[in-house]
Structure formats: C-alpha cells, structure tokens
Chain A
C-alpha cells in the first residue's frame, strides 16, 4: 500500500495573497474613535482581537498599519508578554503568552499607559515589607523571600 508520505503533493497555484478580508480598515476606524474619546474624556478602550473574525492576513495588515512606536516593554510573569506603543501614540498592543510561548491574549489598548504596566498596590505593599525585612536582617545582602499579600491592597 502506498504510504502517505509517498503521495506526491504538487502545489499548482499559491493562495491568492491579494485577497483582502477587510477586517483591518473598520478596526482602524474604531481605534480612531477610541483615540478621540481618550483625547476628549480620558476614557480608555480595550479591543480584544480574539473576538474579531480575522481572515488570513487581516491581523498582519492591521499590525503593519499601526506599526511600532517608541516604547516596548517586556513583562515576565506566567510566561512572557510584550507590550508596545504603536506608531500612533496612545494606541498600544498587549500580547500575552503562556510559559510555552503560545499566545493567550492579544489586545489593543487605547490609553495613556496600559493598566498592567502600573505597579499594583498589592505588589507595592509587598515590596515595602520585603525591603523593611531586609534592612532589619543582620545580613542585608541576602535575598529576601517574596510573599505576596494582595489582601492588604
């Protein structure tokens, strides 16, 4: 019997790359409205790209149109995240990955600074107590153990 790998696969014509699925343009309009809203009322907007029915090439087209701006931040918690401001100030791309490097969320935030970049009150409380402990301890150079106490927030 012929094995699967023995079957000759011939690609006669590549997929037509010029086909546009038209999701990028309406999203760019939505981003423009959100930017105006941010400018006028400081109201931020988040668009979850997982809920958009992208066709092949739509996401690339959108991200290419937005391009990259001045700020890129890498976040390392429960896997890596990349957060960058696009060439349009106030428009941020937030991409979260899990520890396997797989994408678990892709969002556009129209805001001054994405919320997740702010130091969280609970983490601040924790760092105060860790630094206090360290300065109290006889061996100041030793690393202090982290123990998060969110409820104090």
Chain B
C-alpha cells in the first residue's frame, strides 16, 4: 500500500527512475490501450497522457460484499502492467487489504480525504443496507454514513461489482437488509458502474487506467457502465452466434449439440440480454470464458440477475415465438442479435414483473 500521498512525480518520471526505457514505456502503453479496449491508433495519445499522469489517491470501501470483487482485482492477469498502474495510484485505504484496522485506519482515510480534497477517487464494492445500519458497519460507522462522508470530497465514485452497481445478491428478493446500490444514494457525483459478479479484473483496472490516463471518466451507457466494456451484448460478440442464427441449440450438457459447441440459449444462456466484455476479454489470463467452457452466461452484469428466473431456464418469452418475432434464421448479423437482446430484455423485465418463469418446455410449446 503506497503511503506517499504528497508524491508529485509523474508516471513517466517514476518509470524512468525504475530503469524502464522509452521502448518499455511504449510496450506498457500498448498493453494499457488494449486493456482499456481502445484502438491501437490511440497509443501515442495514451503515451503522451500517461507520461504526465500524476498519482491519484484512491479510497476503497467494502460494504455488504463477499470480497469476490477484490479477489478478482488482485488476480488481475497482467502483473507488470497492473502493478505499474497500482504502484501509480495511491491506494490510501482498503480495509480488506490493509493491515491496519480501527481508529488508525480510519485516521488514514480521513487524512487522504483531507489532503486530496476534490481530487480523490472512491471505489466501492458491496451494497449498502438501509433497513438497519447495524447490519454492516466498519469501526462502528454505518455503511451509509461512511459512504456519504467519504464521497463528499471525491472527484468520482466507481461502484465495482453488481452489488455496488445494482444491489446484487443482497438486493435479491426478499432483500432482507434493504440493500441498495451506490447510485441510489449518491446523486451529486459521477458514479461509474463496473458491474459483474465479479467484474472482469482487467475491466476494473481498465477503468482506473482511464482515469489515470485522461483524468476523467469514460463514456457511460444508460446504466452508468463504461461503453467500451459494456457497449455490446455477450450474444453479439459470442463465437457460438452462427449456431444461434442457424437455430442449432444444445439441449443438455452432454448431447451432440453440446459436443459440437452449439448455442446454449435453450440451456438458459442469458447472453442476449447481458452487456459485458467476457466474449472478447475472456477470463483467467484470457484462457476462456463461461460460454467457451460450455455453460451459458448467467447475466451477472445486469441488474437483478438473481431474480430473473432460473439460470438454466431459457430467457422468459411470455408471449410469442422468437423465430417469428425476430425473424430467426432469416436475417443474419448483428441486427438480429440487437433485436433479440431488446426483445429478451423487455420480455425478461415483463416476466420479473409478473413473476412468471418460462421453461424450455414452455418455449417449445409456443414455437
């Protein structure tokens, strides 16, 4: 954990001091551009900006969470690059990772807030219980009070994980703690939602790198998520998509279709209504991702994904048949996926509202 809050060195200066050549710096910028999902043509601009970047102070708050998001982050798969990013942010408070606890730790948080007033970033993982403040406290301070107090002098808030972004598992029916997301409380500061259960590690660092590089936040979608990572649905980027378009579906985990790598829609894949970068960024050092491993997408980066019916039920289509509604098989390409995504999103919202679940059998009957 860095303690140099008064550090004024730029990233360029500190890399030079570590003996990194300009060529090494270019390699670093190339990997950073790739991590930020920016086109390679932006490398010179990134190099110019990163060279002058000064270390921002980051305060990380963990509320009602399972530590999966912090786990994900610390397993980020580009140690050199991410360490450089992390060495260059001043992580002044992270009560899961830091050794200190109690009053001393809280004093460090207050000092960081004071010294960097108006400039520091607050990262939050976990949801905030509103029913009873006693459900989750840190050093005797309720999550709600700590969030409000810490965010007051912040430049922006990054809500990491579906709990901080949308309420997540604690918010699932019947929501016993009255859990809410960060954006339901914080209305006067920019809030970036980095959703996922957990989010992809490089997506978390990509957002931090964006702030470090450009001193601002990336463009967001209607749910407050960075468009570079959440701009396209899993379905639109899925390599199994040609099978969906041809109507070739696996029906069980070990049938012929499963072995041939056909589409997992009928086994509950939520790819058509899920926006995330799994299909391209992938998981575990870029090794694979759920659909590539033969399991449908759970929709973990979408609000209320726990309440959207069973993970193994095909997306609820209460009225009517997908083939007729979207011209399945007749038109190929992204437009179909986009239409299916919208249709499925609406259908699912409908189903959630009516508390209907539709099984594969129901789907068969209607088609």
Contacts and interface: CB of A to CB of B under 8 A. Distances in A.
Interface of A: 12-13, 15-16, 19, 21-23, 46-48, 50-56, 58, 75, 77-79, 81, 94, 96, 98-100, 102-105, 107, 115-116, 119-123, 126, 146-151, 153
A102 B282 CA distance: 14
A123 B23 contact: yes
A81 B80 contact: no
Nearest to A94: B30
A148 B12 CA distance: 10
Contacts of A75: 23, 27
Given A55-B261, A116-B26, A103 B286 contact: yes
B34 A123 contact: no
B236 to A, nearest CB: 9
B9 interface: no
A153 B281 CA distance: 34
B27 A149 contact: no
B20 A78 contact: yes
B71 interface: no
A104 B31 contact: yes
B119 interface: no
A150 B239 contact: no
Interface stretch (B37-45, B91-99, B110-118, B158-166): B37-45
Contact of B280 (A52, A78, A149, A151): A52
- Among A47, A53, A100, A150, which residue has the most Cβ atoms of chain B within 10 A? A53
B20 A77 contact: yes
B237 A78 contact: no
Chain A, interface SS category: loop
Contact of A99 (B30, B79, B237, B240): B79
Given A103-B286, A150-B16, A46 B41 contact: yes
A99 to B, nearest CB: 5
Given A51-B37, A53-B239, A146 B79 contact: no
B80 A15 contact: no
B23 A99 contact: no
B239 A58 contact: yes
A68 to B, nearest CB: 21
Nearest to A127: B21
16 contacts: A19-B261, A21-B239, A46-B41, A48-B34, A50-B286, A55-B239, A56-B292, A75-B23, A78-B24, A78-B80, A96-B30, A103-B285, A105-B34, A116-B26, A148-B16, A150-B16
Contacts of A151: 12
B239 A98 contact: no
A13 B254 CA distance: 9
Nearest to A47: B40
B37 A99 contact: no
Contacts of A146: 19
A1 B4 CA distance: 52
A107 B80 CA distance: 19
A9 to B, nearest CB: 12
B297 interface: no
B259 A104 contact: no
The 7 A-B residue pairs with the shortest CB-CB distance, nearest first, are A55-B239, A77-B24, A46-B40, A120-B22, A98-B80, A122-B22, A104-B31
A77 B23 contact: yes
Nearest to B228: A51
A7 to B, nearest CB: 15
